[in-house]
Structure 1
Amino acid sequence: MAIHQQYYLWAMLLSLYLAAAEACNNNGCSQVPGFFIFGDSLVDNGNNNDMLTLARADYSPYGVDFPNGATGRFTNGRTFVDVLAQLLGFPNYIPPYAEARGRALLQGANYASGASGIRDETGNNLGDHASMNQQVMSFAKTVQQLRRYFNNANSLCDYLSKCIFYAGLGSNDYLNNYFMRDYYSTADEYTPSAFAASLLHDYTNQLTELYNLGARKVVVAGVGPIGCIPYQLARFDGKGSRCNDEINSAISLFNAGLRRAVDAFNRGRLPGARFVYLDSFQSSQDLVENATSYGFEVIDEGCCGVGRNNGQITCLPLQMPCDERWKYVFWDAFHPTEAANVILAKRAYASKTRSHAYPINIQHLALL
């Protein structure tokens, strides 16, 4: 059977599974009551649309394969958390915080903002955005709004303790901060080790604040191998073929520290909480190293973009993207295709190995 036929067969089977999950959810057997999302452009679904920023994707051809077109998602179709929400049985996509109102908040909200980071100044080079600190403050407002739907504080706490929280930040703290030396001074102020430690200090405080606001089931994603995205391949060695190992080495320090933080949280630092660490670096590397087994043929350039590796300038308005998008790991200079997001989300949800989801997978987390 040809690779593209395998892809369509697999996609059809996934659609049937997701339809079953939706029917289950509509009949009251959803796996968790709510899903709250914090992050950057990898999972932003429209929060940046009305901001004065270059980090926005509310124009074609973004969303070319999404039912509602260009909604602000930085890919051709579904994001990682879109697929994850479907796997968890939600009948609808989790709405962006910018649009979530009233009882819809009981299903959850997506606070992610393109270009955002753990540090407040990260992404300022691209314009407005909501940093992680701002996203946490927005969630605090959500908790206040949710009080009206519960009889007492204990009922609200019980509801929040059953929800799943996802946080995926750090990429921009390196791409649009530490390694952007013409705009930021952090590389002069910190060694890679010291910068990772500073990020982890701030991030653990932010995650602790989510815990204080009621989060108990928390998924944190490490930073992927961003030294190998088309943007870095296009600019690092002038040939578009070699990863920037300096960046990958720096983020490995952060990832190792984040996994240790998850261990500390689970061992009692945050009583009653269960954290899951997603090894995005390992999962993404596996996707590239074993590309053909997943049906991918193009691993080093974007489906849509300009210049070397389609990575020197990101996807432009009304630009014609590649036709066979399922063959590409990357949609543009920075972000995965829907096909890659589906595989990564399924792995995070149901992986049987700790090398991708640690110490348990998201399916197990939902059952706790």
Structure 2
Amino acid sequence: MVIRNSTMQNRKTRRRRLTDREIDTMVAIIFRSCILPVLLLLCFSTRAFSQQPRQAQVPCFFIFGDSLVDNGNNNRILTLSRANYRPYGIDFPLGTTGRFTNGQTYVDALARLLGFPTFIPPYARTRGPALLRGVNYASGASGIRDETGDNLGGHMSMNQQVENLGDTVLQMRRYFRGDNGTLNSYLGRCIFYSGMGSNDYLNNYFMPNFYTTSSDFTPKAYAASLLKDYAAQLTQMYNYGARKVIVSAVGPIGCIPYQLARYNGNSSRCNEKINSAILIFNSGLKRLVNTVNNGRVLPGAKFVYLDAYTSSIDLYQNAAASGFDVIDRGCCGVGRNNGQITCLPFQQPCQDRTKYLFWDAFHPTETANIQFARTSFSTRSYTYPISIQQLASL
């Protein structure tokens, strides 16, 4: 579905559409003159921006999700789901930014692999020509359902994040001379990442003292309801111009330090009741990807299913081979498994973060994020039906 501008259509004299080369040249000029000098001043001396790739493989990268990929959108929201304090970001070149880990998130590492010279900025503080390279809409505690995460305070649900994409597209029009066809062509070459669903289980379905969904739905019915809503949200992203879309499966939440600390007092056994419910959702999500890719529902779209569940299970079972010594407790936190409370302000984390799979009760370390990004980018070990690198080249 193409976004139309009736005023432009009614004009007798229509402007010539820009070619892909002209678009890239225009964006490059804007980026160099308006954005790059400032970024270079901020980043020149940091290790993260050494050996910069020559050119990004796609013109822009848009990110939707929760705390696994949030990079600061929750910083000014009244919520318990915030990470804009030390020791969060202790290994990140720009320090504490609001990322829920010690360094880079999965999408940070993926942006680097895609060739972007800088990290994709948060939507909360990005406007103007910077939007042309993409933004991160992710918000800690958010979910597919609007009420998900309310137990932690404010957040931007998936519906709100998609609305923000719509606002972004409106702002981007001015840089394409009002030519919506050319803008849609540009957006069609970009990568869109969406990682949703974790909080719909963690901070909704399996929190019966706060939500009624576990009594209102069976696990199968709940997954079906989530997928119906998610399909509508992904369709709206398509309507705004998204064509190359990565959709991430929900990971094995039953194995995170938070659940290990709560599950019948057993600090090493995963909660398979939670994992079983998640597998129902993931199976449906993969079927949704197949439905989209048959070309009849969303013509021209290509979806890639990112199997974050299997990748995590493989890490649990082969941790030593991947360089991890500790897989059942957070590097930073309080209580059993360092999983009962997340990192407290100025708490001293573990010394060697590279040996830990989890940074805190819920989130992977930078090392785990980078490993997963590298594997999923260039191989099909955890992507279906093609790798992310292949998706970028389409």
What TM bracket, shorter-length normalisation? over 0.9
Unaligned 5+ runs, structure 2: 1-45
Name the residue aligned to 1:236: 263
Matched letter for residue 102 of structure 1: G
Pick from 126, 129, 135 the counterpart of residue 103 of structure 1.
129
Whichever of the two has the greater Rg, that structure is 2
Matches within 5 A, 1:96-245: 96-151=122-177, 152-245=179-272
- Residue 64 of structure 2 aligns to a residue in which SS? strand
Question: Contact between 1:218 and 1:276, CA under 8 Å: does it hold in 2?
Answer: yes
Matched letter for residue 342 of structure 1: I
Name the residue aligned to 1:318: 346
Question: Contact between 1:18 and 1:87, CA under 8 Å: does it hold in 2?
Answer: no
Name the residue aligned to 1:6: none
Distance 1:17 1:62 in 2: 17
- Alpha-carbon deviations, 1:185-214, whole Å to 9, x = none? 000100000000000000000000000110
Q: CA deviation at 1:113?
A: 0.1
- TM, length-normalised to structure 2: 0.87
- Residue 198 of structure 1 aligns to a residue in which SS? helix
Distance 2:268 2:71 in 1: 31
Name the residue aligned to 2:366: 338
Distance 1:182 1:17 in 2: 43
Distance 1:305 1:170 in 2: 24
1:265 aligned onto 2:295: no
- Residue 365 of structure 1 aligns to a residue in which SS? helix
Distance 1:17 1:124 in 2: 35
- Alpha-carbon deviations, 1:99-140, whole Å to 9, x = none? 111100001000000000000000000000000000000000
Question: Contact between 1:112 and 1:135, CA under 8 Å: does it hold in 2?
Answer: yes
- Residue 98 of structure 1 aligns to a residue in which SS? helix
Distance 2:220 2:266 in 1: 29
Name the residue aligned to 1:286: 314
Q: Percent identity?
A: 65
Question: Contact between 2:48 and 2:93, CA under 8 Å: does it hold in 1?
Answer: no
Pick from 227, 247, 253 the counterpart of residue 274 of structure 2.
247
Name the residue aligned to 2:34: none
Q: CA deviation at 1:52?
A: 0.3
Pick from 295, 298, 307 the counterpart of residue 335 of structure 2.
307
Name the residue aligned to 1:9: none
Distance 1:155 1:351 in 2: 32
Question: Contact between 1:118 and 1:133, CA under 8 Å: does it hold in 2?
Answer: yes
| Over 6 Å off, 4+ runs | 15-18
Distance 1:110 1:23 in 2: 21
- TM, length-normalised to structure 1: 0.93
Name the residue aligned to 1:31: 57
Q: CA deviation at 1:249?
A: 0.2
Q: CA deviation at 1:288?
A: 1.5
Q: CA deviation at 1:237?
A: 2.1
Matched letter for residue 135 of structure 2: A
Question: Contact between 2:84 and 2:97, CA under 8 Å: does it hold in 1?
Answer: yes
Name the residue aligned to 1:297: 325
Question: Contact between 1:164 and 1:219, CA under 8 Å: does it hold in 2?
Answer: yes
Q: CA deviation at 1:283?
A: 0.6
Matched letter for residue 181 of structure 1: P
Distance 1:71 1:274 in 2: 32
Change (3 A) 1:18 1:318: closer
- Residue 106 of structure 1 aligns to a residue in which SS? helix
Change (3 A) 1:125 1:16: closer
Q: CA deviation at 1:18?
A: 7.6
Question: Contact between 1:57 and 1:73, CA under 8 Å: does it hold in 2?
Answer: yes
Q: CA deviation at 1:352?
A: 3.6
Q: CA deviation at 1:19?
A: 4.6
Matched letter for residue 145 of structure 1: Q
- Alpha-carbon deviations, 1:218-239, whole Å to 9, x = none? 0000000000000000010203
Matched letter for residue 367 of structure 1: S
- Alpha-carbon deviations, 1:65-87, whole Å to 9, x = none? 00111100000000000000000
Question: Contact between 1:18 and 1:89, CA under 8 Å: does it hold in 2?
Answer: no
Pick from 255, 264, 276 the counterpart of residue 304 of structure 2.
276
Distance 2:65 2:96 in 1: 19
- Residue 279 of structure 2 aligns to a residue in which SS? helix
Matched letter for residue 197 of structure 2: G
Q: CA deviation at 1:16?
A: 10
Name the residue aligned to 1:69: 95
Matched letter for residue 279 of structure 2: S
Name the residue aligned to 2:83: 57
Matched letter for residue 283 of structure 1: S
Distance 2:387 2:362 in 1: 26
Question: Contact between 1:31 and 1:89, CA under 8 Å: does it hold in 2?
Answer: yes
Question: Contact between 1:226 and 1:248, CA under 8 Å: does it hold in 2?
Answer: yes
